[in-house]
Structure 1
Amino acid sequence: MPNSELMPIGAFARRSGLTSSALRFYADSGLLPPAEVDPVSGYRYYSAVQVTRATVLRQLREMAMPLAAVEAVLDAKADDASRLLDEHVSKVVGDAAAAQQKAAAIKFALGDVPGLPIAVLKGPVLAHAVEQVLTATAREPGMPALAGLRIEANPEAVTLTATDRYRLSTRTPVPSEPPVQTWGGTVDGDELRTAVAEIRRSAVVRLEAVPHGIWLRVADREDRHCRLLSEEFPDHHLMLASLGEVTTRATVSKEVLLRALEELPGARMALHIADQGVNVVSADDEHPGIPVPATTAGQALQIQFELTTLHPALSTAIGPDVMLDLRGDDQPVTIRSADRGDLTTVAMPIKADHSA
């Protein structure tokens, strides 16, 4: 190859983002040998076509991938390389979760602080409630509490709450034993999701509060620790207390209403509620709409929603029929099971001009 098409190791290092010493190491290991080595001076030269391999090599090492795995990815076809990447990421995530649990156990042992009993619930009941309520979480810059689940306990009940500002879900699962403490905290949502698989397989789960976290104590399985978020959770009590009087009510089949939402085009839709039932129309289109049988009471109403707000609020409802309690076209709607369950979701509509 003509020398004019080669670059010295320093220039190649700048192009690839690797240091000269790293390039020498990868050359000696066989991962990235230079295109040419001057037989007199020993200077190493690289070609432009090696930049891509060098860049990917650097990125793989930044992911803490072992050298053997890096070589396998670099030399594999696209499908095999994707599989190897997925396997590595899965292992890293699993190792991180295991390390997090071990660190929590060590901190708990070093602190020598007894856990504060919060509540005792059946594992499958708690797991189901957590999964339902966590659908209302969101990741918002500057608002980490929206990614958490609020747990509150008092001698009467245990309540789980989450909100993404457009939707608020709350459920009050029945405890196995009446709580003896009044306690509240916002638990990291991602860590709770990871713990769900374990707590679902435990007949009983005991919640204990410790500094900066909670323990999910399970019998014959590994206890799980979840961090508490320090950021303040939105004042959902004030919001729920300020809901106005219900002026329109519709009871409708959850499956039929969801199917109508899924069949309509567009990201926004309107519910036209009248004596004859509910008509679901696309807010962005001239679609004639889909009539949905419903039992209605109160004032006729037209109200618009984002699909991403209304669909999950309906899909997580318990039971075959849902009850919609409405207060006007610009007020939150309350969605709950028509006949059973304690999951309640409050969903915000959008204005007719499509602004939230």
Structure 2
Amino acid sequence: MTAMNDDEPLMGIGAFARRVGLTPSALRFYDDCAVLRPARVDATTGYRYYAPEQAPRATLLRRLREAELPLVEATAVLDGPPEEAREVLRAHLRRSTESAAAARAAIEDVLRELPGGARSGQARVGGAELAGAVRQVGSAVAVGTVREEFPVLGRVLIELAEQELRLVATDRYRLSVRALRPLAIGGEPCGLTVGIEELRDLAGWARGLPEVAIEVDAGEVRVRGGGEERALSVADEAFPAYRMVLDGLADARHRVITDRAALCTAVAERGGDGPVVLRTGDGVLTVEGGRTLSALCTGSPLRIAFDPAVLLPALEAGVGPDVLLEVASGGEPVVVRSADQGSFTTLVMPVRTP
């Protein structure tokens, strides 16, 4: 217990609790845990007394606990060196963000599936922007036997959430997400799936319009623009919980930035059967058996393989001159996106390296 000058004003536990925003029971608990000791304890009554200079520590402790920081980690922030405190807080922030995102995705999925759970939302976007988004995600829609087995993968999710209009498609080997910032948006978070063929027809019509209004309401999707209205057929099947996949991505250990068009050409030229293998080196990206491209590479040297029929459409759907590949490991989804634009993201599964 810290020695105090008897002339210094001390506060009883009730007054100190009111000052710092903690309850007296919480202060007793923190005393028992040796996290926040009182300045003095009356030997006869057992009453606890606190000094004014203890208020900043108590206030910081309250804020940390309100953020649901475990007491052991809160103690590290209070008493450890600044760098350790930053590391603890950043780790807790990552965990909290991931947990909140997973909970949000799960709850929104359940709400959509509950009887009578249909919700409505509206958004206005540029017609050409919507058409471009349809083109970008369209390559990830399932075809052939995968679509026959899982019909919902032959559709595109149109979702209104978090002030964005999102188009999402997946064939299990790729996952493409295009987020648009609407000119205006309202209503509740909601989403429905529509057929890709119908959506492509809509894109051709919307391309020449300055803007279109999209309405999702009670199991219907309607699009208005240029004095016309078009309704899209929707399905009752639940779309895969794609946000849980995105939120569960491991941190990238390797990043590669290279010319997108050149990489498309190199992958297309590779031809033949089997996977296409990419290898990073000192400032280069090599397509084994093909071209070597200039590249910005971070992380240790990397060798990773893809099915060219999966990788090439993901590259071609991108925007801008450069492409960014983010790789956590050879067995996890690889993030493919524009180097300077994060609004379109595709995940591509690698294959076994030959």
> Does 2:243 correspond to 1:242?
no
Structure 1 unaligned spans of 5+: 1-114, 282-286
Post-superposition shift, 1:116? 4.1
Distance 2:120 2:247 in 1: 29
1:231 paired residue number:
237
Post-superposition shift, 1:127? 1.1
2:284 paired residue number:
277
- 2:185 aligns to what SS in structure 1? coil
1:260 paired residue number:
266
Q: Is the 2:277–2:353 contact (alpha carbons within 8 Å) kept by the matching residues of 1?
A: no
Q: Residues 290-329 of structure 1 correspond to what in structure 2 (within 5 A)? A: 290-329=291-330
> Does 2:190 correspond to 1:183?
yes
1:83 paired residue number:
none
Post-superposition shift, 1:155? 4.6
2:71 paired residue number:
none
1:204 paired residue number:
211
| Counterpart code for 1:261 | V
Post-superposition shift, 1:314? 0.6
Corresponding residue pairs, total: 232
| Counterpart code for 1:182 | P
Post-superposition shift, 1:181? 2.5
Q: Residues 8-23 of structure 1 correspond to what in structure 2 (within 5 A)? A: none
Runs of 4+ in 1 over 3 A off after TM superposition: none
The two structures, once aligned, show a CA RMSD in angstroms of 1.7
| Counterpart code for 2:209 | S
Q: Is the 1:301–1:328 contact (alpha carbons within 8 Å) kept by the matching residues of 2?
A: no
| Counterpart code for 1:335 | V
1:138 paired residue number:
142
Percent of counterpart pairs with the same letter?
Answer: 33
1:219 paired residue number:
226
Distance 2:164 2:204 in 1: 24
Distance 1:183 1:255 in 2: 36
Query: TM-score, normalization: structure 1?
Result: 0.62
Query: TM-score, normalization: structure 2?
Result: 0.63
Relative to structure 1, the CA distance from residue 330 to residue 341 in structure 2 (aligned partners, 3 Å threshold; closer, same or farther) is closer
Larger relative contact order (C-alpha < 8 A, sep ≥ 6)?
Answer: 2
Q: Is the 1:155–1:178 contact (alpha carbons within 8 Å) kept by the matching residues of 2?
A: no
Post-superposition CA distance 1:315-349 (Å, at most 9, x none): 11110001110111111110111123611111001
- 2:131 aligns to what SS in structure 1? helix
Distance 1:212 1:269 in 2: 42
2:350 paired residue number:
349
Q: Is the 2:259–2:323 contact (alpha carbons within 8 Å) kept by the matching residues of 1?
A: yes
Q: Residues 125-164 of structure 1 correspond to what in structure 2 (within 5 A)? A: 125-139=129-143, 140-164=147-171
Distance 1:275 1:249 in 2: 13
2:122 paired residue number:
118
| Counterpart code for 1:276 | G
Post-superposition shift, 1:208? 1.4
Structure 2 unaligned spans of 5+: 1-118
Distance 1:317 1:181 in 2: 30
2:52 paired residue number:
none
Q: Is the 2:135–2:317 contact (alpha carbons within 8 Å) kept by the matching residues of 1?
A: no
Distance 1:154 1:339 in 2: 23
Distance 1:164 1:205 in 2: 28
Q: Is the 2:137–2:169 contact (alpha carbons within 8 Å) kept by the matching residues of 1?
A: yes
Post-superposition shift, 1:194? 1.3
Q: Is the 2:121–2:160 contact (alpha carbons within 8 Å) kept by the matching residues of 1?
A: no
Post-superposition shift, 1:256? 1.0
| Counterpart code for 1:316 | A
- 2:263 aligns to what SS in structure 1? helix
Q: Is the 2:141–2:155 contact (alpha carbons within 8 Å) kept by the matching residues of 1?
A: yes
Distance 1:341 1:224 in 2: 30
